[in-house]
Structure 1
Amino acid sequence: MSHLPVPKEIRDLLTDLLDREVTLSPSAPLAPTPKNPCTVGVYVDDRLQVTAIVAFDLPLSARAGAAIGLVPAAGADAAIEEGVLNDTLRENVYEVLNIAASLFNVEGADHLRLYDAHHIGVPLPPDVLAKALTLGRREDLAVEVGGYGPGRLSVVLVR
């Protein structure tokens, strides 16, 4: 059985990782679309079965990528305005998603690891999109990264 992290666990991880105050509040489910592009991390168990998805919308992708890499907020704002992440922000948000695997790895739960990340600007494979839209065991949150601004994320258990 996989562990669905609670908002406090997500907030604590992001606060520590980004070295910023992070606040969370409930949000509508995040649906990746061409008009609402997302960075999507795909997590697998030890049998390589896709078990969880974490999606960051464009604003959170840019802001988390900027904050972890100490890129000024203006760099995140420019990426949001352009609708694309540069290589640095893409690598940085990948690292955030990679470390986020720790959210799932609690005693008694399946061990998960980041298998792949689908970045903004690249169409999501249909199976990944379907999993991102799965209702049920999920957390959908509005995120405010201190000094950088708002975004949204979804954590979805698919198994």
Structure 2
Amino acid sequence: MLLKNLLSDSRKWILGTNSISLGDIHTAFIPTYIANVPGSLPEAIFNSDQFPHVMLYLARYQDATQGTHGAATPTLSGKEAAQIIQQAGFLEHSSNLTADSTELSIRQPVKVWRTNNISSAIKHFNSGKLLGLSSQEVIISSFTPKGDELHLHFPRRNIRVIPQL
């Protein structure tokens, strides 16, 4: 019903732009996905008589995106990408530590995990040496099994940082 109301003014694209935009991709994704599930949108309910502007919009969207679905294929294998990343130098030298109540210090071993997932503290955490800590970000240095150093950046929101024992 919301999409029907938004398109009732006969606009061509959802944000009133002259061409397709990111807003259209986000808007059309769900109805397009559902329409591709056989039997999910019965013709008696979802049709051009009931939703004329929506049906025209989805047809425009299909025409504009024709040939783009699945068109992007990686040109590097995962191993090749990992090798390039491991050979690259670091662009930043993280050594910022703002005063806060954590009482952590630079190069201190820490454990970092998401607080919005119960199993993260036990199974899905990262550990390493603290390189940076601010109100916006946590940066740690960690090593791959091959011994290559990685700098991992985490937002402060929903992230817990504690000293690693």
Judge same fold: TM > 0.5, yes or no: no
**What's the TM-score, normalizing by structure 1?**
0.21
Which structure has more strand as a fraction of its residues? 1
Which structure has more helix as a fraction of its residues? 1
Q: Which has the larger radius of gyration?
A: 2
**What's the TM-score, normalizing by structure 2?**
0.21
